[in-house]
Each structure stands twice: as structure tokens, then as C-alpha cells.
Amino acid sequence: MTEMHDTTGTQDSELIAFRAQAEALADAVGQVVFGQDRTVRLMLTCLMSGGHALLEGVPGTAKTLLARSVAAALDARFKRIQFTPDLMPSDIVGTHIFDPQTQDFRMRQGPVFTDILLADEINRTPPKTQAALLEVMEERKATVDGESIPVSPVFTVFATQNPLEFEGTYPLPEAQLDRFMMKIEVPYLPAEREVDVLRRYSAGRSAHEEAEQQIRPVLDVETLHASTALLAKVHVDESILLYVQSILAASRDSAQLLLGAGTRAGLHLLIAARAWALLGGRDFVTPDDIKDLAVPVLAHRLILQADAQVDGVGEADVLTGLLGRLEVPK
């Protein structure tokens, strides 16, 4: 294994091949979703790491299109749930219904029996229904009328929420937010890319149709599932482990935070950093990988003190400040 600072070592051929496929997937999605390169890379990191992501952005920032396009490039099964106040747990996981032809009950599977699930506006449905989905996210199995049924081994949830609307919503409790590997902020497009989108639509084209018709699969679900084993080949130096623990400890000691990051947050950060390194063409994790991922992996798990909220300070601001004060491994 090469030293952390050495980027010239020989890499495993499997790692190189997978990275090339992942780059092709990102390029395919980029042909339909403009200007969201970092968002796509973060989504791929979650997929490779077996995690789930909360996509947060104002309406019209292509959150649905992103999830649909990634699924198309993977040739993965894709389903979407529009969360509403009257949605029931059985609408998520399914139920048994009576079939008059066979005079017996048969299973009607819910939308969680898929590969990639878009949970649109997850904060608009009551906690009981949210919990039904979060159980599947955690256990990779659905409980239907007391029967436990496995879902896809690559089952991944991309949940969305609008950061500005609070009326008629049911915010996810901290324990449930902790189940999401990342909260990914989906930003407005840069001006030049926004012009490209306007030009495409003014020509009568539809991005959602292109996601289904233009994107050709460049990576399959089986290869994605196998990437979990590849991540074990990405080296994590002892100094990186100590660095991650120092970030967790600093968040717990911060006077601006009521609640810091737990051990699960640190584990998610390390797993994601391995995938991030692989996508960057390396078989080792660097401190920059940890810094790149610290906000999307950790910030949504933190709770601000009241004084910090009054001052207009956000969780990401506090975390960025902590990272700036901590010693970085050489």
C-alpha cells in the first residue's frame, strides 16, 4: 500500500475499472442535469457507501430529475412517492389484499421494493409514515402485516425537502435525521448553466423525457453492489481515524452546539470518504476528503444552541469553524 502523500502508486485494476465506470455515469447524468457536478458525485458516494441522502433545495432545482437520471444511468428500478399528510405506512411498504379469484390473500408490494426510491417532500407526511420508510432504510427489509420481507440490496432513498416551507410539515426528528448518511444542499445553477437550461426548454425539449430516452446505462446495479467490497481496498491511515475523532469531539465540546456528532456520524464519514477517494482516482483517504465531506455528512446531525440561532449562525458555519481550528494530519 502506498503512503498517503504518494499519488503515484500502482492501483488495483478493479478500482481503476470501477472509477472509470463511475465517471461515465456522472458524465451521462451531466448531459441531462446541468451544473450539479458536486451534487451528482455526492449522490454516487452515497450509492457506493450503502447510504441514503436527504436532498434539500428550493423547488425547481432538479432534485427529482437528479434521482431519475442517476437511476437511468444505472439501469436501476426507480420509484417516486409524493409524501402527503394522508399517506399511510401501508402506502410505503405494501399490504396483503384479498383476491376473489383465488379466494386467498396476496401481497401488494409498496414502492420500497425498488432499487432507487425518491421520497419527495418527506417532511410533509406524519411521523408514523416517515418511520415506516426509515425502518426499511435501516434494516433493508420491510415489515408487512408482521412479515419481514427483504428489499433490494442496493435500496437507496433520496428524500427531498424544501428548506423554506414549514407550514403543514412534520420535521424529521434528530434520531431519524441521523439515519441519512448525507444532507446534500442542491444549489441554484451558475448563470451560464441556467442559460443552457432555458435554451433547452425554449427549443421545446424536456429534461425528464431526455432522462428516460437519452441516458443509456453505463453501470449496472450488480456492479454497484459489488463496489462495497472495493471500498475495503481504500486505505485509511491511523492519522485519519484520529482526525475524524477529533472532529466529533470538537462538535460535542462546541459552545455553539447543543448536540454534537455521534459515533455513527464518524463511521458514515469514514465510509463516505473511502468512496469519495475512489471517485477521485485514489486508493487512500486524505484529510481533504474528510474536509470535503464533513458538512454534508455531519451538519444535519448537529443541533444549535439558541444563542447561535439568534445570531444567524448555521450548523455548517459552526462545523467549518471547527475544521479551521483543528490540526490537520500531515
Tell whether 6 is covered by a domain: no
Q: Quick one: pLDDT band at residue 205, thresholds 50, 70, 90?
A: low
| The three three-digit cell numbers of residue 15, written as one number | 478500482
Based on the fold, state whether residues 22 and 88 are members of the same structural domain: yes
Between the alpha carbon of residue 27 and those of residues 33, 70, 260, 284, the distances in Å are 10, 10, 36, 24
On whether both 223 and 239 belong to a single domain, the answer is: no
Q: Which helix (H) or strand (E) holds 55?
A: strand 53-56
Rounded-to-integer distance, Cα 99 and Cα 25, Å: 42
Query: Which phi and psi angles does 271 have, rounded to 5°?
Result: -60, -45
Range of the domain at 223: 13-232
Whether pLDDT at 203 is above 90: no
CA dist., res. 169 & res. 149, Å (int): 30
pLDDT tens column, 270-329:
999 999 999 988 999 999 999 999 999 999 999 999 998 888 899 999 999 999 999 999
Asked, for residue 129, whether it belongs to a domain, the answer is yes
157: which strand partners?
117
Asked whether the predicted pLDDT for residue 2 surpasses 80, the reply is: no
Q: Looking at residue 71, which CATH number applies to its domain?
A: 3.40.50.300
The domain tally of the chain equals 2
Reported as a pLDDT band with limits 50, 70 and 90, residue 101 is confident
Range of lowest pLDDT (106-115, 129-138, 167-176, 252-261): 167-176
- The tens digit of pLDDT for each residue in 43-61 reads 999 999 999 999 999 888 8
In a domain, 146, yes or no: yes
Residue 78, pLDDT above cutoff 50: yes
In a shared domain, residues 139 and 283: no
Residue 284: CATH number of its domain:
1.10.8.80
Distance in angstroms (rounded) separating the CA atoms of residues 37 and 214:
18
Q: What is the pLDDT of residue 283?
A: 92
Q: Using pLDDT thresholds of 50, 70 and 90, give the confidence band for residue 150.
A: very high
pLDDT at 251: 97
Residue 282 and residue 144 share a domain? no
Q: Please, which residues have CB within 8 angstroms of residue 173's CB and are 6 or more apart in sequence?
A: 127
Is residue 107 in some structural domain? yes
Q: What is the pTM of this model?
A: 0.90
By CB neighbour count within 10 A (0-12 exposed, 13-18 middle, 19+ buried), where does 40 fall?
Answer: buried
Contacts with 277 (C-beta within 8 Å, 6 or more apart), sequence order: 234, 283, 284, 285, 286, 289
